[in-house]
Amino acid sequence: MCALLSQALVAFALEYEELSPVALSISASILRRIPLEGRPVRDIGMSVHLSAMDRHGFLRLDGDGDNATVFLTTKGRGVSDAYADRVEVVEQTWRERSGSDTVRNLRQVLENTTDHAPPDESPDDAQPASRPGLAT
């Protein structure tokens, strides 16, 4: 069953990424966690993703190392703001293709799976890491 769920998530991510200049995983786990006032890098974790997002103009880093703060650029804010709409477009496409009941059942299985995952370790004031795709 895990292989089938993995295939569904990969298919969802691929369809999402046809609509977005940024990968679903980065949109959900990084961009959506950066408020307008920025967030310390230590709260997100420095990664190659942050460097790449900076290089491509989706965010900017002020400061060095763990003392740096990350801010979304206008381009990055646009991707973050469009996240839910893009997820909805993919979900609607899936409903039309496979039926609402199928999508609802798949969502339920995925939500039950993520409910048993370790809790999000983001700071209390951060937006929780969302469930990419098939979001509620």
Boundaries of every domain in the chain: 2-100
Give the per-residue pLDDT at 51: 87
Give the per-residue pLDDT at 5: 84
Domain 2-100 carries which CATH code?
1.10.10.10
Buried b (16+ CB within 10 A) or exposed e, 70-86: bbbeeebbebbebbeeb
Query: What is the tens place of the pLDDT at every residue in 72-123?
Result: 999 999 999 999 999 999 999 999 999 999 999 988 888 887 666 555 544 4
Query: What is the tens place of the pLDDT at every residue in 9-60?
Result: 999 999 999 999 999 999 988 999 999 999 999 888 767 888 899 999 999 9
